[in-house]
Amino acid sequence: MLGRMGCVVSHSDDDVRQVLAKPEIGRQLEQWWGPSVLDEKGQVDRAAVARIVFGDPSQRRRLEELVHPLVDAKRKKEWADAAAEGSVAAFVIDAPLLFEAGLDRRCDAVIFVEAPESLRLERVRQSRGWDAGELARREKNQWPLEIKRERADHSVINDGDLAALERRVRLILDEILTRFAQAGSRRGPDCGS
């Protein structure tokens, strides 16, 4: 929605997938964890990597130290290219681990998007094939939702009413842009969600 509203959105999950698809990253992961982290085509098996990193915080940090700088460089290049092309309402980082990765410190505003647990489970079952155990395991490795909600500047409930969601997102974006216009900022805001 923010993309349709003139923002340039960096989708962290997509960016991580692209980084993991790089042959040199696959070779590094294979060196660390063995051939079981690659599929039959020699590509990184994300499910195998997830089993390792969500079971061992030190391995998750190791992976993040490898991948996050590459994702950050990709994001910065995309944003610089977009800024050079013309008007951008705002730059947005869509990241489930925004706070955990410290990306919130780069944001001028943070929008917390939440949904009821039953709906989150339904969505990841359909989109990723996860069961309740997998969702719980991954959420256990994130900050509690209450803390994220408290630290965010804005909150949005994404429970299926798309028209209401879009109205709320528009109001939040307009408020953020108005605040920057009043402050006389020469650049657009950076938003995290």
pTM: predicted TM-score of the whole model, two decimal places:
0.81
- Residue 140: its pLDDT value, please? 86
pLDDT along the chain (193 residues), means of 10: 95 94 96 96 94 92 95 93 90 92 92 92 92 88 92 92 92 93 63 58
Q: How many CA atoms lie within 13 A of 35 on its CB side?
A: 3
- Residue 183: its pLDDT value, please? 76
- Residue 134: its pLDDT value, please? 87
- Residue 191: its pLDDT value, please? 60
**Domain residues of the chain, as ranges?**
8-192
CATH class of the domain at 8-192:
alpha beta
- Residue 54: its pLDDT value, please? 87
Residue 170: its H or E element:
helix 162-183
Closest CA to 107 of 138, 79, 147, 69: 79
- Residue 65: its pLDDT value, please? 95
- Residue 121: its pLDDT value, please? 92
